[in-house]
């Protein structure tokens, strides 16, 4: 971990507008030596300080194999994320982390991989998808399922096209289609029937709203997936990121240090449906 307690200065290198309320910020530590030392596991998060406004947890959405810079995909939902959205290229933020558990990808070699994402839950998973893409020959078949409210909310179109070109099975669904929408309609669990491999030898990684995670796990268990094969990332309200403040407490776990990535065996014992 580069910095557990003190936010260190980072500069915004570029900003892309992904949807009307979502931007991806590419940032780098001002101290170039720190950036060189930086590494993370897909699924880990950092704490971003927007000076004068506050701090918030955010997953890393870039590749663990491209650490010259770090990308965060941020939805503008409230006070601090709104202040972040107003920042421009060249301005500075504070960064702590990386924190928490990631997806243990090294244990998933030779397995088929099923990614299940809802809304901006695709952001943390993108980092894991990039990692699998980088070492494609080490994995079996790969499916990326994505659900969101409307076609305007679809994230990372360019990535999705590229994943499709690399023979990933990429399927999207929206709750409210428009007349140009060519994908599926309905909730993301409705896409499970289009996944062309059996539960044996398959690992599932899920990120999205709690209710989506809850119902995805139920449906996947019905299809024969065992808890040991399924991992989900939870976005609980949190403050310190290092297990001191107990804001992210769920059952007998702290989401910041025991998670945010949990195995479904642990999730079954936790009150994950309510957020
Ligand atoms: C481990 C982790 C990873 C995350 N990754 C991402 C990501 O990649 N992209 C992204 O856009 N967001 C992510 N979030 C959510 C992000 O932290 C919140 O959207 C942010 O804290 C909101 O801050 P705010 O001051 O702008 O909103 P506030 O003004 O504090 O609140 C606005 C609304 O958002 C809710 N909210 C506030 N904080 C959180 C929180 N920590 N988790 C869930 N809901 C919250 C509030 O209940 C309220 O409804 C992540 C959260 C966690 C815990």
Is residue 260 within 8 A of residue 231, CB to CB? The reply is no
pLDDT higher than 80, residue 3: no
For all residues of the chain together, what is the average pLDDT? Answer: 92
The best mutation among 81, 86, 243, 254 to test binding of ligand 1, ranked by most ligand atoms within 8 Å of the C-beta, falls on 81
Is ligand 1 within 6 A of the CB of residue 81?
A: yes
Count the alpha carbons within 13 Å of 83 in the hemisphere toward its beta carbon: 13
pLDDT higher than 80, residue 1: no
Q: Please tell me the total number of residues recorded for the chain in this structure.
A: 275
pLDDT, one tens digit per residue, over 73-114 is: 999 999 999 999 999 999 999 999 999 999 999 999 999 999
Is ligand 1 within 6 A of the CB of residue 47?
A: no
Rounded to two decimals, the pTM is 0.93
Neighbours of 89 (CB within 10 A): 11
Task: Please state the atom number of ligand 1 nearest to the C-alpha of residue 238.
Answer: 41
How large is the average pLDDT for residues 242-261? 86
Helix ranges, the chain (H): 32-37, 79-85, 122-134, 157-165, 210-222, 264-267
How large is the average pLDDT for residues 207-229? 93
Kindly calculate the radius of gyration of the chain based on its CA atoms and give it in whole angstroms.
18
Domains defined along the chain, listed by start: 3-99 (2.40.30.10), 105-267 (3.40.50.80)
Is ligand 1 within 6 A of the CB of residue 233?
A: no
Task: Give the long-range contacts of residues 213-218, CB within 8 A, separation 24 or more.
Answer: 213/267, 213/272, 214/272, 214/273, 215/187, 215/189, 216/116, 216/188, 216/189, 217/264, 217/267, 217/268
pLDDT higher than 50, residue 172: yes
pLDDT, one tens digit per residue, over 44-66 is: 999 999 999 999 999 999 999 99
pLDDT at position 254: 87
The best mutation among 18, 19, 24, 56 to test binding of ligand 1, ranked by most ligand atoms within 8 Å of the C-beta, falls on 56
3-state secondary structure of 272: coil
Residue identifier of the C-alpha nearest atom 2 of ligand 1: 235
Residue identifier of the C-alpha nearest atom 27 of ligand 1: 78
Sign (positive/negative) of CA torsion 116, 121, 124, 130?
positive
How far is it, in rounded angstroms, from Cα 174 to Cα 51? 36
3-state secondary structure of 140: coil
How would you write 244-268 as a 3-class SS string? CCCCCEECCEECCCCCEEEEHHHHC
pLDDT at position 275: 41
pLDDT higher than 60, residue 274: no
Is ligand 1 within 6 A of the CB of residue 153?
A: no
């Amino acid at each position: 971990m580069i910095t557990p307690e003190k936010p260190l200065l980072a500069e915004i290198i570029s900003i892309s507008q992904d949807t009307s309320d979502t931007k991806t910020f590419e940032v780098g530590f001002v101290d170039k030596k720190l950036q060189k030392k930086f590494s993370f596991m897909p699924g880990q998060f950092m704490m971003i300080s927007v000076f004068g406004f506050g701090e918030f947890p955010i997953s890393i959405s870039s590749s663990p194999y491209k650490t010259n810079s770090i990308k965060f995909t941020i939805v503008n939902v409230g006070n601090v994320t709104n202040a972040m959205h107003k920042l421009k290229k060249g301005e500075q933020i504070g960064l702590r982390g990386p924190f928490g558990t990631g997806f243990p990808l090294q244990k998933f070699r030779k397995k088929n991989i099923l990614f299940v994402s809802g809304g901006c839950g695709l952001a943390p998973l993108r980092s894991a998808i990039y990692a699998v893409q980088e070492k494609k020959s080490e994995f079996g078949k790969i499916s990326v399922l994505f659900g969101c409210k409307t076609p305007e909310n679809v994230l990372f179109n360019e990535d999705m096209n590229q994943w499709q070109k690399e023979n990933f099975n990429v399927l999207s669904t929206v709750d409210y289609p428009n007349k140009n929408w060519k994908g599926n309609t309905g909730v993301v669990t409705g896409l499970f029937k289009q996944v062309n491999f059996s539960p044996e030898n398959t690992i599932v990684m899920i990120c999205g709203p709690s209710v989506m995670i809850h119902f995805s796990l139920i449906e996947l268990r019905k299809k024969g997936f065992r808890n040991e094969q399924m991992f989900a990332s939870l976005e609980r309200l949190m403050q310190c990121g290092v297990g001191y403040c107990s804001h992210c407490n769920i059952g007998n776990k702290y989401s910041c240090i025991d998670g945010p990535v949990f195995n479904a065996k642990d999730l079954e014992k936790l009150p994950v449906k309510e957020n």
